[in-house]
């Protein structure tokens, strides 16, 4: 009996001690210090520490300078390379932190309204329709097992690139009474099928029983341009087909300048929209090479200045973005890029690419009056905080058009094929 009481007392003491330890400030600070730190040349990184803890570099390379205060340590990144920082308590090593300094990296912020023209790989099936034949209404496409969202890439061994490629095969097969050999691309992979066109007795022509499309167009906002390579990123989210709701598989495409003609103001349940037109000359300013969850990407063949911030800015990695005031660049009238105030409500330091890294809220009275918040067509508007490009606007909250999501800029740069982590020669620690 006494032994049982002693066990309970010891257990209670251990539990109280554990809870106290969890809330012990030096322990909290120790746990909050990351195992690795990545910064760009010329930047600082500061973390809090308990007073008895000291920091020292394992190598005396000049790429990093430490500045120690009583309760904090600042890492000054002088030049690219690697190093190790050792934290000691009473002369005993307690934690090792890997420090990597990346070469200074800058991009031009966007904000311009752009027109987007996408050409699909093959022709996209966006619906079925019934053909009025002498034997009743039928859809040859549906009979062949073709679904909405499928892409027809080949007919009778020949590559299909646009809608006009399809008609001659359909009429020829219908007249010969032979089925077409189709290659279909679907999310699960490619497969082959046979389709026999049927004659529409009302029009006396042969048809597939499918609605197809080979291109799409819309507007969005430029996010960044890499001045050395002319690579760009825009939109911050994937372009999906309006009918199938599936991402468009891009063969190629073009971007052109566009002009905002009016704004449909957003409200609860209705996010609103920018109404715009392509520039009158339809001059192509760049190509589209990729349509991904992080936006569209390609290369420019013309200079595209925003007229407000035309000097390259440094970027912030996801762990460097802070909650608090920021700004976006976007167009709400004609082709004039303007700067508006927002608040970064929350941000997630991400180790791996993800599309939703920030929650933002429009706070600028002028923008709220004009648009009601975030509207369609604003996607891709660059987010700038403390003089650094940190991300892009991607989505609006339908029930609160003043707020929405943003994506961290490092993931868009990664999708553009720009390696911000590459350094000519890392200095070993």
282 catalytic? Reply is no
68 and 136 together in one domain: no
Beta strands in 198-245, from DSSP E residues, in sequence order: 198-200, 205-207, 210-225, 231-234
Instruction: Specify the pLDDT at position 2.
Output: 63
Identify whether residues 225 and 202 lie together within a single domain: no
Indicate if the pLDDT at residue 23 is higher than 50.
no
Do 237 and 332 share a structural domain? yes
Average confidence score pLDDT of the chain: 87
* One domain for residues 199 and 223: no
Residue 272 inside a domain? The answer is yes
Question: How confident is the model at residue 8, as a pLDDT?
Answer: 63
Does 187 lie in the same domain as 171? yes
pLDDT at 294: 96
Question: What confidence score (pLDDT) does residue 250 get?
Answer: 86
Task: Kindly name the residue from 80, 226, 237, 395 that is annotated as catalytic.
Answer: 237
427 inside domain: no
Co-location of 144 and 248 in the same domain: no
Structural domain ending residue among the three candidates 159, 188, 208: 208
* Cα 340 to chain centroid, rounded: 21
Residue 99 falls within a domain, yes or no?
yes
Helix (H, G, I), strand (E, B) or coil at 414: helix
Res. 427: pLDDT tops 50 = no
Tell me whether residue 367 is in a domain: yes
The better pLDDT of the pair 28, 215 is held by: 215
The share of the chain scoring above pLDDT 90, in percent, equals 52
Q: Same structural domain for residues 236 and 337?
A: yes
Q: Taking a C-beta distance cutoff of 8 angstroms, is the pair 284, 119 a contact?
A: no
For 164, the token pair is 């006009």
Compute CA distances 370 → 114, 174, 193, 260, whole Å: 20, 55, 52, 13
- Give tens-digit pLDDT for 347-369: 998 888 999 999 999 999 999 99
Residues 6+ apart with CB under 8 A from 359: 344, 345, 346, 347, 403, 404, 405, 406
**CATH number of the domain within which 276 lies:** 2.40.10.10
State the pLDDT at residue 429.
38
192 Cβ partners below 8 Å, 6+ apart?
181, 182, 183, 184
Domain that holds residue 158: 130-208
CA separation (Å) from 282 to 114, 221, 253, 257, 278?
11, 17, 13, 7, 6
pLDDT at 154 over 50: yes
Contact 117, 387 (CB under 8 A): no
Q: How far apart are CA 177 and CA 196, in angstroms?
A: 8
The reply to whether 197 and 255 lie within a common domain is: no
pLDDT digits over 43-63, tens only? 888 877 766 778 888 777 778
Q: Which of 364, 381, 395, 408 is catalytic?
A: 364
Active site residue 364: yes
Point out the least confidently predicted range of 23-27, 102-106, 279-283: 23-27
Q: Looking at the domain assignment, is residue 120 inside a domain? A: no
**Most confidently modeled range among 156-165, 207-216, 324-333:** 324-333
- Residue 193: pLDDT band (50, 70, 90) is very high
Does some domain include residue 220? Answer: yes
Q: Measuring CA to CA, how many Å separate 354 from each of 249, 301, 347?
A: 20, 29, 12
Tokens for 170, please give them.
């359909």
Same domain, 288 and 404: yes
Question: Has residue 148 been placed in a domain?
Answer: yes
Where a domain ends, among 208, 242, 260? Answer: 208
Whether 237 is a known active-site residue: answer yes
- Say how far apart CA 321 and CA 389 lie, in whole Å: 10
* pLDDT (tens digit per residue) in 256-300: 999 999 998 887 777 889 989 988 787 899 999 999 999 999 999
Any idea what the CATH number is for the domain that residue 183 is in? 2.30.42.10
Residues 147 and 48 in one domain: no
Q: Number of structural domains, the chain? A: 4
pLDDT band for 1, please (50, 70, 90 cuts).
Answer: low
The residue-averaged pLDDT of 420-427 equals: 59
Catalytic residue among 379, 381, 403, 429: 379
Q: Which CATH number characterizes residue 92's domain? A: 2.60.40.1080
Please give the full DSSP string across 14-60, using - where no structure is assigned. Answer: HHHHHHHHHT-HHHHHHHHS-SEEEEETT-EEEEE--TTEEEEESS-
Q: Please indicate, yes or no, whether residues 46 and 24 belong to a single structural domain of this protein.
A: no
| pLDDT of the residue at 52 | 76
Q: Give the pLDDT of residue 184.
A: 95
pLDDT in tens, 356-403: 999 999 999 999 999 999 999 999 999 999 999 999 999 999 899 999
* 124: in domain: no
Per-residue pLDDT, averaged over 310-319, amounts to 93
Q: State residue 12's pLDDT score.
A: 61
Q: What is the pLDDT of residue 88?
A: 81
Write phi, then psi, for 171 (nearest 5 degrees). Answer: -70, -40
* Per-residue confidence band for 424, with pLDDT thresholds at 50, 70 and 90: very low
For residue 21, what pLDDT band results from cuts at 50, 70 and 90?
very low
Say if strands 136-138 and 273-278 run parallel, antiparallel, or are unpaired.
Answer: unpaired
**pLDDT above 90 for 426:** no
pLDDT at 217: 86
pLDDT score for 348: 92
Predicted TM-score of the model (pTM): 0.82
Instruction: Assess whether 154 and 97 both reside in one domain.
Output: no
């Amino acid at each position: 009996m006494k032994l049982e009481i002693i066990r309970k007392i010891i257990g209670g003491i251990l539990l109280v001690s554990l809870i106290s330890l969890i809330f012990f400030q030096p322990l909290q600070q120790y746990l909050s210090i990351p195992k690795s730190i990545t910064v760009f040349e010329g930047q600082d990184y500061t973390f809090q520490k308990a007073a008895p803890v000291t920091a020292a570099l394992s190598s005396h390379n000049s790429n990093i300078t430490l500045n120690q205060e009583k309760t904090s340590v600042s890492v000054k990144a002088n030049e690219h390379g690697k190093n190790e920082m050792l934290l000691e308590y009473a002369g005993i090593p307690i934690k090792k932190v890997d420090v990597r300094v990346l070469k200074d990296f800058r991009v031009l912020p966007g904000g311009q309204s752009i027109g987007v023209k996408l050409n699909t790989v093959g022709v996209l099936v966006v619906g079925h329709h019934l053909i009025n034949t002498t034997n009743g209404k039928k859809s040859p496409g549906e009979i062949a097992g073709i679904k909405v969202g499928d892409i027809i890439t080949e007919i009778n061994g020949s590559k299909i690139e646009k809608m006009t490629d399809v008609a001659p095969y359909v009429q020829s097969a219908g007249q010969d009474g032979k089925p077409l050999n189709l290659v279909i691309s679907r999310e699960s992979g490619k497969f082959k099928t046979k389709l026999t066109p049927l004659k529409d007795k009302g029009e006396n022509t042969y048809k597939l029983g499918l609605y197809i499309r080979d291109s799409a167009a819309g507007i969005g906002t430029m996010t960044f341009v890499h001045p050395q390579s002319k690579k760009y990123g825009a939109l911050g989210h994937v372009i999906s087909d309006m009918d199938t709701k599936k991402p468009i598989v891009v063969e190629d495409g073009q971007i052109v300048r566009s002009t905002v003609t009016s704004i449909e103001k957003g409200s609860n349940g209705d996010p609103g929209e920018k109404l715009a037109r392509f520039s009158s000359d339809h001059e192509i300013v760049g190509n589209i090479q990729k349509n991904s969850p992080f936006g569209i990407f390609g290369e420019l063949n013309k200079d595209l200045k925003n007229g407000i911030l035309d000097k390259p800015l440094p970027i912030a990695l996801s762990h460097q973005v802070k909650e608090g005031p920021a700004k976006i660049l976007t167009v709400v009238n004609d082709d004039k890029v303007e700067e508006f105030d927002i608040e970064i409500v929350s941000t997630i330091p991400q180790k791996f690419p993800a599309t939703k890294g920030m929650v933002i809220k429009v706070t600028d009275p002028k923008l709220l009056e004009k648009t009601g918040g975030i509207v369609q067509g604003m996607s891709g508007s660059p987010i700038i905080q403390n003089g650094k490009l940190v991300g892009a606007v991607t989505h609006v909250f339908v029930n609160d058009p003043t707020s929405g999501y943003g994506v961290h800029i490092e993931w868009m740069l990664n999708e553009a094929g720009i390696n911000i982590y590459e350094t000519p020669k890392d200095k070993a620690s």
